[in-house]
Amino acid sequence: MDDTTYDLAGHRVRRMGFGAMQLPGPGVFGPPRSRDDAIAVLRRAVEAGVNHIDTAQFYGPDVANELIFDALHPYPDDLVLVSKVGARRDAAGSWLPAQRPAELRAGVQANLESLGIESVHVVNLRRHPDSDVSLDDQLDAMVELREEGLIGAIGLSSVDLGEYRRARARTEIACVQNEFNLADRTGLDVLEATREDRVAYVPFFPLGSAFHPVNPVLGAASVTAVARRLDVTPAQVALAWLLQLSPNVLLIPGTSSPAHLEENLAAADVDLDQAALIAIG
């Protein structure tokens, strides 16, 4: 089996995908710094073989999806679009929960409209840590949307091991999207469970949070030392580590820079030797 691809909701996708979160303006809000660059990045990613793009209507809001539409529609037959619901933005750009079943449905419909499609391949249910809506009620809503054909498959985002297992006992789960990187491995139990279940695991913030003032991944001494020795960048080391961690890991690093896109894509060809893996820990 080709180890550069993995199954996602019945589609064979490249393990190096693309995340659209950084396409809108600062704070994932408003128009992009350069619309031309954003369009160029999306087109180049697909040209280079990326066939898994992660997005959300609340990125912008609408900005990321509209850029994807403008750059890539009509979409290539093998392109898998993954979105998420469970959050919204207010006029000031604040991130707010949108956890009720009616809000999940509205979120899916907003994605369909802004992406210009009749069904989203996969939609991740993003659980809010303080949600007062039961997971069972949310899953009922997602299953209903799938049965109606508005979404092709159900994913989960920001869930713990108990929530993952509960959801999977209720219905088929295509993927889990949790924060995970070299500096934050607290969700390792979920990753291990998905590997055993042959469910795709999609770490967000693979290079550390864009909202953190000091990047704990790229600034780590062990990462920079390995990067120097292998003549690659710290970001490539961090991405390659995730790819080598487990075959079910799908990466969605995002950028609005064509140069950074090429750097991220090249990480798929970086082979970390045993000395590098030991040094990283």
Query: CATH number of the domain that 46 lies in?
Result: 3.20.20.100
Residue-level pLDDT at 164: 98
Task: Over range 134-158, report the average pLDDT.
Answer: 98
Sort strands 120-126 and 175-177 into parallel, antiparallel or unpaired. Answer: unpaired
Residues with catalytic annotation?
59
Handedness of CA 273, 274, 278, 279 (dihedral sign): negative
Task: Give the percent of the chain with pLDDT over 90.
Answer: 93
How many residues are present in the chain?
281
DSSP state of 9: T
264: pLDDT strictly greater than 90: yes
Q: Which pLDDT value is given to residue 150?
A: 98
Contact between 272 and 240 (Cβ < 8 Å)? yes
Considering the domain boundaries, does residue 65 fall inside one? yes
CB distance 130 to 97 below 8 Å: yes
Find the helix or strand (DSSP H, E) in which 14 lies: strand 11-14
| 239 assigned to some structural domain | no
Would residue 225 count as lying in a domain?
no
Res. 124: pLDDT tops 90: yes
Residue 87 β-bridge partners: 97
Reading the block at residue 56, the tokens are 């959300």
18 found inside a domain:
yes
Is a pLDDT exceeding 70 seen at residue 1?
no
- Decide if 232 is inside a domain: no
Q: Is residue 124 part of a domain?
A: yes
Report residue 88 as tokens: 């919204």
Question: Could you write out the DSSP letters of every residue in 153-193?
Answer: EEEEES--HHHHHHHHHHS---EEE-B-BTTB-TTHHHHHH
Instruction: Evaluate the CA torsion angle 227, 24, 41, 46 in order and state its sign.
Output: positive
Residue 217's pLDDT is what? 85
Residue with tokens 């953190």: 212
- Within-domain flag for 55: yes
Q: What is the mean pLDDT of the chain?
A: 96
pLDDT digits (tens, 9 = 90+) for 188-245: 999 999 999 999 999 999 998 766 556 778 888 999 999 999 999 999 999 999 999 9
Q: What is the pLDDT of residues 55-104, one digit of tens each?
A: 999 999 999 999 999 999 999 999 999 999 999 999 999 999 999 999 99
Domain count across the chain: 1
Give the residue numbers spanning the domain of 147: 5-207+249-254
Distances (CA, A) of 236 to 45, 230, 232: 16, 10, 6
- What's the confidence (pLDDT) of residue 211? 61
Look up residue 55 and give its two tokens: 């997005």
> What pTM was computed for the model?
0.96
* pLDDT tens figures, 16-36: 999 999 999 999 999 999 999
> pLDDT at position 152, please?
98
CB 83 within 8 A of CB 123: yes
Residue 90 lies in a domain: yes
The confidence score (pLDDT) of residue 234 equals 95
Please state, for a pLDDT cut of 70, what percent of the chain lies above it: 98
